[in-house]
Amino acid sequence: MLVGRTRSLPFAPVESGEVLLPGYRVVRLLAHGKRLDTYDAWDEDRDCRVVVKVLRADRRHERDVVASVLQEGRLVTTLAHPHLVRGFEVVEQPLPAVVLETLTGATLGALVEEQPIGAADVTQLGLQLVSVLGYLHRRDWLHLDLKPGNVVVQDGRAVLIDLSLAGRPGTGRSGAGTPGYLAPEQAVGRGLSPATDVFGLGVTLSECLSGELPYGEEATWESRRRLPLVHRPHPREPVALPTDVPPELAGALRACVALDPAERPSLARLRSVLGDLAGA
């Protein structure tokens, strides 16, 4: 029988220098999330810094949450791509955890907060993200949470992180994703496909160019109502990109954020457009 969610306990982070898990000592807490606590840690076996995402103690009895953590761990430790974060280990006891490589760059989100990114750099970022998304899709996985905060830029290389919402094409949890970045079909949890990640990619690259989300931060597509897409009020048109963005790039990104998945370009088509721009 599935045990219900326990009441949140007062949060007491593991202090610097203390053992987080056998073989891992805390350097500092990076984030205290709804499901996971993320630590900068020292790996005593590998003799290097790592990132450890460990399940919160007050959620250890939620089977779906435990399964999600272990699934992310299996993905990052078995998949290998130059633009995908590397996983070193999956821990099941005493708490489920995932051990990841330490990335020294800044998130794309932090860079965009400082100032918009030029079209040439966005084109290169797009090609790299198309590459890693294609790798995932060919293995029948969708990322489902593509956003600037989940892309680390390190020495010109974009690295996709956080596969905690990754899932198979088809159906999924209604409303799973990040407001402003999730595709309309994610709101109802049906019809998930590679086009769903194309939408997230289009939103991400558009934000890089303009500093704005195409449909605004409030774009949740009324996921709480659980209504079919055809009964939802039609949202406003996406925000126009700056006039100095090459028309080919602007047109491709506008197509990526089409509300109808069938109208979005394939990754292969998007790669072709971006490749032509990069060559030019």
How many Å apart are CA 206 and CA 241, to the nearest integer?
Answer: 7
Q: Residue 256 corresponds to which tokens in the numbers above?
A: 């990526």
The predicted pLDDT at position 57 comes to: 87
Domains detected in the chain: 19-101 (3.30.200.20), 106-279 (1.10.510.10)
Structural Rg of the chain based on CA atoms: 19
The predicted pLDDT at position 67 comes to: 93
Residue 94: asked if its preceding bond is cis (omega within 30°), the reply is: yes
41-68 tens-digit pLDDT: 999 999 999 999 999 988 988 999 999 9
Mean pLDDT of 221-227: 52
Across all residues in the chain, what is the average pLDDT? 90
User: Which residues belong to the active site?
Assistant: 145
Tell me which of 235 and 31 has the higher pLDDT. Answer: 31
The predicted pLDDT at position 40 comes to: 97
Q: Residue 198 corresponds to which tokens in the numbers above?
A: 């194309």
Q: What is the DSSP letter of 164?
A: T
State what percent of residues in the chain have pLDDT above 70.
90
How many Å apart are CA 130 and CA 115, to the nearest integer?
Answer: 23
Mean pLDDT of 198-210: 97
pTM: 0.88
Report the relative pairing of strands 48-55 and 106-107 from DSSP bridges: unpaired
The predicted pLDDT at position 72 comes to: 95
